[in-house]
């Protein structure tokens, strides 16, 4: 069986930056172990599997090299980009049906695509003993939704983080975000998910489902420019809209072909 595959750099307007995602276009679902094996073989932060439903909408699932995840922003952005590029979706909006995150929408907004994702506001939690030492910087406050989020002093502190990945992998929840005010954007962040086979994710849409509600409340505004300052780096235009987070970004194609299963 041959399956079309595309690799896209998401949340960037230049190749070899942003977060690479593989997008596999399926006619029918394959067994879960096969989907996981394909994601492991691709060895990217996420592989998205997209199947047309017959009503104009699409089913969407995401796998890291190690596990299936309940929400992935950059691979959703990449999937919308691929569907439009291939001519499989031609309208102004694309609706994705997911197993746990509900219906997600991607809309055309000029040169960008804008995702409509669920907000996941964090609550402040007690400090975790040893976290400062594990990151190599001082944590000013710790928050949690599905992911832990460590708030640091400034952008320089975020860039200075050198995490003990074994410590992070042992933390409860879905990995660790570090964040601080940005020099030329509202906020910056990084995200570590060694438990999911991702030491550091280059640009993480799902992390911004928690970051945006936090920074919106702290800064007193709903529209925010953000940058995830991983080695590859990526830019996001963010907006809090009630219980939804709207994330806009660009995509750049890198590879297309077929895989054999």
Query: Active-site residue numbers?
Result: 46
Distance CA 206, CA 74 (A): 8
Question: Is 84 strand, coil or helix?
Answer: helix
Residue 2's contacts (CB-CB under 8 Å, 6 or more residues apart) are 258, 259, 260, 261
Distance CA 47, CA 51 (A): 13
Distance CA 47, CA 63 (A): 5
Burial of 53 (0-12, 13-18, 19+ CB in 10 A): exposed
Radius of gyration for the alpha carbons in the chain, expressed in angstroms and rounded: 18
Burial of 90 (0-12, 13-18, 19+ CB in 10 A): exposed
């Amino acid at each position: 069986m041959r399956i079309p595959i595309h690799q896209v750099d998401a949340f960037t307007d230049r190749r070899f930056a942003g977060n690479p995602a593989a997008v596999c276009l399926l006619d029918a679902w394959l067994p879960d172990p096969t989907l996981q094996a394909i994601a492991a073989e691709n060895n990217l932060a996420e592989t998205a599997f997209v199947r047309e439903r017959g009503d104009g909408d699409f089913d969407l699932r995401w796998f890291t090299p190690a596990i299936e995840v309940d929400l992935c922003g950059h691979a959703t952005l990449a999937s919308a980009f691929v569907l439009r590029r291939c001519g499989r979706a031609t309208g102004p909006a694309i609706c994705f049906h997911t197993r746990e995150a509900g219906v997600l929408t991607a809309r055309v907004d000029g040169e960008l695509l804008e995702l409509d994702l669920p907000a996941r506001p964090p609550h402040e939690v007690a400090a975790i003993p040893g976290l400062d030492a594990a990151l190599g910087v001082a944590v000013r406050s710790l928050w949690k939704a599905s992911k832990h989020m460590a708030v640091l002093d400034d952008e320089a502190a975020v860039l200075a983080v050198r995490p003990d990945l074994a410590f992070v992998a042992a933390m409860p929840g879905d990995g660790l975000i570090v964040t601080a005010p940005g020099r030329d954007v509202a906020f910056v962040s990084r995200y570590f998910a060694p438990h999911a086979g991702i030491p550091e994710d280059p640009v993480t849409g799902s992390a911004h489902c928690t970051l945006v509600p936090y920074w919106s409340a702290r800064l007193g505004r709903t529209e925010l420019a953000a940058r995830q300052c991983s080695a590859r780096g990526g830019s996001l235009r963010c907006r809090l809209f009630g219980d939804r987070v709207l994330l806009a970004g660009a995509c750049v194609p890198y590879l297309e072909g077929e895989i054999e299963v």
